[in-house]
Structures are given as structure tokens and as C-alpha cells.
Structure 1
Amino acid sequence: MAPTEAITLVVQPRGKPVKKLPPDTTAALTDSTAELYKRLAAATGLSVHRLRLAKGSDGSVIPNSSKIPISETGLRQRSNITVKDLGPQIAWRTVFLVEYAGPLLIHPLVYYLRDYIYPTPSLAPSALPEPTALQKLSLILVVLHFAKREFETLFVHRFSSATMPAFNIFKNSAHYWLLSGLNLAYFAYGPSKTEAAPWFTYLALALYTVGELGNFNAHLILKGLRPAHDPTARGIPRGFGFGWVTCPNYFFEVISWVAIWLVNAAISKTSAVSTAVFVIVAAAQMGAWAAKKERRYRKEFGAEYRRKKFVMLPGIF
């Protein structure tokens, strides 16, 4: 069959019926898979990001790529393809912005409204002790951390997937709005008289600075692997931290939060526990992502990739 020859593909829904889905479609073997997605999206009136195409023969997903011709997918004349409607989608960038906005708003609100949040029978709201230097420091560190994340979302991150299921924004946001937002803020800014020695503050600030700058540098390196015109491009990251672990951005993220935990642990025992819960949950999730990325690097780049023994924490995990 000549590579320019047009073929007819049998189209079937996968799962729930897809309105206006044609029974078949025609495409040239030289067409990209992205053109196939666009053709079926136009026919159904749905966004290309809502559709997932797969080969009927083995169920393998047909990628939505402008670089992969249909001839390389194994599809031939009268091949079956299935179309799944993934449901309403939302842009990944929007999801990140909404997630990080939670703690960015909640911490200042709790801090400045503490007179109304923590009154006790023996204390009028106006008699609540002033925030300690450690509480002020905790607020600054948390706000700077999430402000940096918002900045990176707008100007640094390049997303390989354009969208995600819209409903997931509630699940994803709960982690930040509740666990790192209300949970951390409520226990960090209550009545406290604890003050830390200067060396302790300097230690926390040093760790925080290393963590934030190391994390930002890792994100810049990852950005360099994906040119603006092709955010789906993949490459092997190299540079500071990437020789130690698979995902140094997660490693430095943990360092930043250990610094915040040190500050909150000095404020109160309850603040220490609430911060530790968030750090442990976040580290466990990042560890799972890092392990998955290591497996993907090994599969995708083979012998070209130098395998890492530790995926997130040097010498530990």
C-alpha cells in the first residue's frame, strides 16, 4: 500500500456512546495522528482533548501527535479504532493556579483574623498575644513558597498534557486548600509565646533558601527540555541535582518544607504535628511520581539514560 494512499478506518465508541460519532473516517497514511484527532473532534463537536483514540486490535492508545504519521501506528485499511469521551476537561495550568491559590490566600487570612479565630473564655479577642517572630516567619515562608509556585505555573512550566478531567480540580485542590492551607494555618498562628534562638532561625532560612533555589533551578532545566513550540518533547535532564536523583525538584521541595516544619515545630507541638502530616503526605506522593518517572526514563531512553538508584532522596529513596 502506497504511503500516500487513503484508508478507511472503522470507528466505534468505547464505553458510553459518543454523539455524532461517524461509523468510519478516511485518512491518508501520511496524515499525522493529530489530524485524525482533529477530524473526529470536528465530527463530534468535542474538543480534541476530550477524545482518546485507541486501536481496536489491542487497545493501545493512539497518541495525539503532529510528529507521528498514521502509517507508524499499524493502522491499515478497515482497521478498527475506538473513541472514548473523557468528559469535560480543564487546562492543567488553570488547575495549578487554583491549587496554589488556596494556601496563598488562607494563610494571610488566618494570620490577620486570628483575633476572631482564637478567642478563649479568659481572653477577649483584643487581648490575644501578638504573633511571635516565628509565626511571622512561618507566614512569610509559606506565602513566598506558593507565590513562587504561581510564578512558575505562569512563566516556567510547560505541560505535556494540555488538560485533565475537570472534576479532578476538586480532588487536587483539597490537598492544598485543606492540608497545606487550613491545616497548617490554623495550628501555626494560634496563641504562642515561643521565640527561637537566632541560630535556629538562620538554619531554617538557610535550608529554605537552598530548597527554593534548587527547586527553581531544576524547573528551569526541565523547561529547557521542552521548546515552546513542542511542549510534548522529552529529553534526559542533566544539571545540578539530576546526577544525584531522578527528580531533584522533589528533593529540594522536601528541603523547603523541612525548613518550614522546623519553624512550626518551634511554635507549638500541634503545629509540628500538622506540618509533619502535610510533609509526609506530600513526600509520599512525590516519591511515587519520581519512581514512575525513573521507570519511564529507563523505558524511553534505554542505554542512553544513566539509571538512578535513588529517585528523590539521595541515599534514602
Structure 2
Amino acid sequence: MSASSLTLVVRPRGRPIKNLPETITVSSDASTSHIFEEIAKASKFSIHRLRVTKGSDGSSIHNVQDVTVYDTGLRNKSAVDVKDLGPQISWRTVFIVEYLGPLLIHPLIYLGRPLLYGTSAPASPLQKLTLALCVLHFAKREFETVFVHRFSSATMPIMNIYKNSGYYWVLAGLNLAYWSYGPNSPAAKPSNDLLTYLGVVLFAVGEICNFDTHLTLKNLRSPGSTERGIPRGLGFNLVTCPNYMFEAIAWIGVALVNRSLSTVIFIIVAVGQMGVWAWKKERRYRKEFGDKYKRKRYAIFPGIW
């Protein structure tokens, strides 16, 4: 097929987009990212705020380099619908901010014990260990956000930063820290050495294996691309998302160390949310890869869920 110039009819969908062009002209062999560039240039909107779908069937057109305009089925005079997704913020920024909360809150509440609890008694060994585990966990999260994770989408709606940060800052930050470092906390009492050692082992195994799964997921996608692959490696033959399984194991280790109900509550909420994400990913894998993908019966815990 020889390249030809296509005129696409551009239609708004949802909220009005100022300066949205009525038509754009693109080459049939240009990548679909060129559609986004032309619309963004004319409308003065960020590419990341635009969702483009085919007017004929509503299927999404993705902002990628490896799919041509012709490949999408668009032809001369075809219509595309453009939706304004609203103000956006990068995924990386959201992750950095949401993990920064508990990373700072735990040391602040620990150091502020005399003011918060009115006690001059030193923190117990378990409370010191709880602080170390929580700081290590969220420092690892920040490291992975900056140096490991590759995101299939560049941005998300800006309101997500408030929702995500509220979850981490309140539930993993204030909730865990306040009830862990007080003089009446179970962690302030003498430790059970067996439970403590088991908790530290579970935490270490969970964090190391979780990091390994994140490296596996990273290597599925080359820098700057949005292609997806089938993950294989540690835990991926057992469940859809072993990264969530190992995350839960690490937090069970923290719960055995500080023996606080607040940690158990956080684990229950976190596992519930991760389970929803894992089943969505399982359905996506089945749809996207078909028979190439070995279907999983369990999303995050073998034999359980």
C-alpha cells in the first residue's frame, strides 16, 4: 500500500474543547501518535488530556509509535471523537507523593512521642524495629518509582493524587504510626522472640521477592514503549500478581513484629484493593494474549484468592 494523505473529521465528545479543529490531515502510514500531535497542536491541549476513539465503533486509538493510522481502519473522511480527560498528572509524581507521606510520618511520630503521648520513656526494641521496617518499605517504594517502574500511561487524572495520597498518608502513615509508637502499643511490651524473628524473615523475603517481580514487570516493556508482554518468573506461574502476594507477606511480617490491630486493618484493606486490581489484570491478560497466556485460577494467593 502506498502512503496517502487522509483527512479525518474531528468531533468533540463530552465537555467542549476550545479550538478543537474540525478536521486534521495525516498520512496513512504515519503512526497514530501523529493524530494526537495534530489535535494537540491545533487545540493547544496537552496530548495526555486527550482520549481519541474511532467514530465508527468507539474503539480506542492509542498514542503509540508502532501502529499506523491505516492499521486502525481509519480512511479518508473517517471521524474520530476526542474527549478531554481533564487536568492530568504523571503516574511517577503520584507514586512519589503518596509514598512520601508514610516515609515522613513514621519518623515524625516516632520522634514526637514525648509531645504526642506525654511520655519520656524510651521506645521499645519492637517499636524501633517497626520504624525501621516501615521506613525501609517506603524507601524501597520510592526507589522503585524513580528507577524501576515503567508506566504504560504517562498520566492519570490529577484528582487521583488526593485519593491515593489520602489512602497511604492516613492508613499506612498516621494509622500505623500512631498506634505503633505509643506507650500502650503492643509493640511497647516485651517481645516474643519467635514471632519477632518470623516477622523479620517474612518481611525480608516479601520485600526481596517483591522487588524481583517488579524487575520482571519492568523488563517486559522497553523504555518509552507501551507494549505489553506475558510475565514469567518468580511467582508468576502460581498467581496473576505475585508482586501483590509478596507485598502482603512483607506486611504480615510487620504485623508479627508490632502486633498492632492497625497493621491488620491496613493489610485487610490493602489486600482487598490489590485483589481487585489483580483480577482486572487477569481478565486483561486473557483478553489480550488469548491461548498464549496460561490462565490463573488465583490472583494473589495460591489456593485462597
Q: Normalised by the shorter chain, which TM-score bucket?
A: over 0.9
Q: How far did residue 229 of structure 1 move?
A: 4.0
Cα-Cα RMSD: 1.1
Q: Report deviation, 1:273.
A: 2.0
Residue 29 of structure 1 deviates from its aligned partner by 1.3
1:207 match: 202
Contact 2:198 2:256 in 1 (8 A): no
Match of 2:132 among 125, 129, 140: 140
Deviation at 1:264, TM superposition (A): 2.1
1:295 positional shift: 0.9
Say if 2:183 is the partner of 1:191. yes
CA deviation profile, 1:106-142 (whole Å, cap 9, x unmatched): 00000000100012xxxxx4xx322111111111000
Give the aligned partner of residue 245 of structure 1: 239
Q: Could you tell me how far apart the structure 1 residues matched to 2:213 and 2:178 are?
A: 32
Rounded to whole Å, the distance in 1 between the matches of 2:234 and 2:272 is 23
Q: Is the 8 A contact 2:200 2:257 kept in 1?
A: no
Is this contact kept in 1: 2:199–2:253, CA < 8 A?
A: yes
Read off the aligned partner of 1:249 and give its amino acid letter. Answer: N
Structure-1 residue corresponding to 2:143:
151
Q: 1:32 is matched with which residue?
A: 31
3-state SS, counterpart of residue 174 of structure 1: helix
User: Which deviates more, 205-214 or 69-78?
Assistant: 69-78
Task: State whether residues 204 and 262 of structure 1, in contact with CA within 8 Å, keep that contact through their aligned partners in structure 2.
Answer: yes
After TM superposition, the structure 1 stretch with the greater mean CA deviation from structure 2, 80-89 or 204-213, is: 80-89
Which whole-Å deviations, capped at 9, do the CAs of 1:210-247 have from their partners, x for residues lacking one? 100010000011111111242x1211111111111111
Paired with 1:310 and 1:168, the residues of 2 have a C-alpha distance of 28
Q: Is the CA contact 1:100–1:176 (under 8 Å) kept in the aligned structure 2?
A: yes
Q: Return the match for 2:276 from 274, 288, 292.
A: 288
SS in structure 2 of the partner of residue 35 of structure 1: helix
Task: Identify unmatched segments of 5+ residues in structure 1.
Answer: 120-124, 266-271
Question: Counterpart of 2:296?
Answer: 308
Q: How far apart in 2 are the matches of 1:90 and 1:59?
A: 25
- Are 1:233 and 2:221 an aligned pair? no
Which residue identity lines up with residue 177 of structure 1 in the other structure? W
Contact 2:50 2:85 in 1 (8 A): yes
* Cα distance in structure 2, aligned partners of 1:213 and 1:3: 52
Deviation string for 1:172-226 (max 9, x for gaps)? Answer: 1001000100011111111044111322211111100110001000001111111
* Structure 2 residue ranges without an equivalent (≥5): none
2:113 and 2:152 mapped to 1: Cα distance? 41
Question: 1:122 aligns to what?
Answer: none
> Partner of 2:156: helix, strand, or coil?
strand
Identical pairs, percent: 57
Deviation >6 Å, runs of 4+: none
1 CA distance for matches of 2:290 and 2:269?
31
How far apart, CA to CA, are the structure 2 residues paired with 1:3 and 1:115? Answer: 76
Task: State the shift of 1:3 in Å.
Answer: 4.5
Measure, in 2, the Cα distance between the counterparts of 1:221 and 1:238. 7
Aligned pairs for 1:114-133 (under 5 A) are: 114-119=113-118, 125=119, 128-133=120-125
Change (3 A) 1:158 1:216: same
- TM-score normalised per structure 2: 0.96
SS of residue paired to 2:83: strand
Inter-partner Cα distance in structure 1 for 2:253 and 2:296 = 26
For 2:178, the aligned partner's letter is: Y
Q: Report the Cα distance in structure 2 between the residues aligned to 1:196 and 1:118, rounded to whole angstroms.
A: 21
Measure, in 2, the Cα distance between the counterparts of 1:252 and 1:227: 24
Decide whether aligned partners of structure 1 residues 29 and 82 sit closer, same or farther in structure 2, where only a CA change above 3 A counts.
same
Alignment of 1:59-98 (within 5 A): 59-98=58-97
User: Secondary structure of 2:122's match?
Assistant: coil
Q: Distance in 2 between matches of 1:28 and 1:224?
A: 32
In structure 2, distance between residues paired with 1:82 and 1:227: 30
Q: In structure 1, which of residues 211, 220, 225 is the aligned counterpart of residue 215 of structure 2?
A: 220
User: Structure 2 counterpart of 1:302, which letter?
Assistant: G
Kept after mapping to 2: 8 A contact 1:3/1:71: no
Number of corresponding residues: 302
Which residue in 1 is equivalent to 2:249? 255
1:246 and 1:310 in contact (8 A); partners too: yes
Aligned-partner residue type, residue 5 of structure 1: S
- Give the AA of the match of 1:295: R
